[in-house]
Structure 1
Amino acid sequence: MTHTQRALVIGGSRGVGAHLAAGLDERGWSVTATGRRPRSAVGLDVSVHYEQLDLATETAATDMTGLLRKVRPRLLVHNAVAYPAPEPSLTDYEAIFRVNTLVPYRVLSGYLPGADCTCVVINSDAIYHANRTSGVYAASKAALRVLTSALADHCRGSRACVATLLLGPLADDRKVEQLERIARQRKTSPEEVTSAYLRRANPSYTTDSLIPLDACLRSVEYLVDLGAQANGMLCRLDSGSAGSLI
């Protein structure tokens, strides 16, 4: 297959990021993916170019800017994410905001207005229902949501656009394996365990199944096809987790 358009997936070493990188590669994009882990620890196909990039480092903004200028992607997916440690320090909290919010905003606000690029920012329905264990993570994602709107304003009148893909409970490999293990222990079906998990996780969920990763890929393709009309758009693939008023 001839690869004609370039895509860059920031945070593409595993989970939904890796799925997007692999799916875009299969659909004919020339894909570069990044992650904190070395290439030897990443299961991406060799046709996907991989760059090790840690947004928590002091040189992260410079490194990300350099990569963008080298790749010049038609599609940029920002999926890099950091989570709190069990007993996080203030430095840990600051690193979470650097990775999830501040470095991407700093870099993209300078890069996007002069680029011919659709940027899809992956966000989380955690912004709707923070608790004592997810509060800092949710706050970083809420800040990212606000700053993504600011990025859209940066892009107004240019060839670039930025949109948010807001995701709910994903059918990533680790979550599926965990639910299947519980089902075996309880001698019931994975479907029943998944349904019970979702009802406890958020009473606003209106589904009994996890969101398939292919639905995320199709949503990204939809946003790219919209072009400039996607600027500022919020695409919710969140199983109704925001409740009925949003």
Structure 2
Amino acid sequence: MKRALIVGASHSLGAHLARGLAERGWSVVGTGRRPAAEVPSVHTFEYRSLDLSVPGELQPFLDRQDGGYDLIVHNAVSYGRTYRGQGTGEPHLAELETLFRVNALMPYQLLHSLLAAQPADRFCSCVVVNSDAIHHANRHSGAYAASKAALRVLTTALADTFRSGDSSVATLLLGPLADPQKLADLERLAKRHSTGTADVARAYLRKANPSYVIDDLIDFESCLRSVEYLAGLGRAANGMVCKLDGGSSGSLV
């Protein structure tokens, strides 16, 4: 049985990836900050606590690893207070440090350690989930986008570091996801304006980024299929960027 690790599997996309891979026959380990009782479908995979905002939690987690993985998906993320207009003014330095620690520095250290410890005879596909916010930051998403841009550069470094070993490191670059929070926000707007949720979503996508050529938010199942695709490429996926963002750049990127 193939073994997968989903970092950031306590809710939303990560929980869907963990459940979906388990349903496809994978032995899945998922991590997250939330208690197991709050994790959807936690009975379908092994759930371990890991909070990347707490540096002291990383080494004990690494010490518990045994035998390596066939697939590692990094999906954990922190948005910060200003990402959805929840904060005002200049972010405090401590907040920025936490944002970069969770979104870039700890993932780099975690993935580097996991790939370095892989058994020599076990190939591992590593997929790092990132955001197309790195291409169009604004006053709300600037700090978040900068941390994800740092993750993108560090992912490239990982791909180069392990290119000669039995690993591949690829990026899954995502656009606006149909996560529960975003759907709830769109439904509230639709009710307020007495219109359909699909119409509100279409208007949101066109306003959020004029280059989007999609009218619907990206569904979780498409993300799962993209992860499977990258894993199926084996070594050929090393250094690859798979865009699932509905942008119009096409083959120019």
- Answer yes or no: same fold by TM over 0.5: yes
TM-score (norm 1): 0.92
Q: CA deviation digits over 1:116-150, x for unaligned, max 9?
A: 31110000011011111111110000010011011
The answer for the alignment partner of 1:47 in structure 2 is 44
Q: Name stretches of at least 5 consecutive residues in structure 2 with no aligned partner.
A: 82-86
Q: Deviation of residue 244 (structure 1)?
A: 8.2
Q: Partners of 1:39 and 1:11 in 2: how far apart?
A: 12
For residues 39 and 242 of structure 1, do their structure 2 counterparts lie closer, same or farther at Cα, with a shift above 3 Å needed?
farther
Q: Partners of 2:41 and 2:101 in 1: how far apart?
A: 26
The answer for the alignment partner of 1:230 in structure 2 is 237
For residues 143 and 24 of structure 1, do their structure 2 counterparts lie closer, same or farther at Cα, with a shift above 3 Å needed?
same
Q: Deviation of residue 75 (structure 1)?
A: 0.7
The answer for the alignment partner of 2:75 in structure 1 is 79
Q: Does 1:6 align with 2:3?
A: yes
Q: Partners of 1:107 and 1:171 in 2: how far apart?
A: 27
C-alpha contact 1:114 1:160 (8 A) present in aligned 2: no
**Which residue among 83, 89, 94 is the counterpart of 2:92?**
89
SS at match of 2:55: coil
Q: Partners of 1:71 and 1:101 in 2: how far apart?
A: 25
Q: Partners of 1:139 and 1:179 in 2: how far apart?
A: 26
Q: Deviation of residue 236 (structure 1)?
A: 0.2
Q: Does 1:239 align with 2:242?
A: no
For residues 241 and 45 of structure 1, do their structure 2 counterparts lie closer, same or farther at Cα, with a shift above 3 Å needed?
farther
Q: Deviation of residue 179 (structure 1)?
A: 1.2
Count of aligned pairs = 242
SS at match of 1:76: strand
**1:94-109 superposed matches below 5 A:** 94-109=97-112
Identity %: 54
The answer for the alignment partner of 2:84 in structure 1 is none
Q: Partners of 1:244 and 1:179 in 2: how far apart?
A: 31
TM-score (norm 2): 0.90
Q: Deviation of residue 114 (structure 1)?
A: 4.9
SS at match of 2:183: helix
**1:147-226 superposed matches below 5 A:** 147-226=154-233
Q: Deviation of residue 245 (structure 1)?
A: 4.6
The answer for the alignment partner of 2:21 in structure 1 is 24
For residues 29 and 152 of structure 1, do their structure 2 counterparts lie closer, same or farther at Cα, with a shift above 3 Å needed?
same
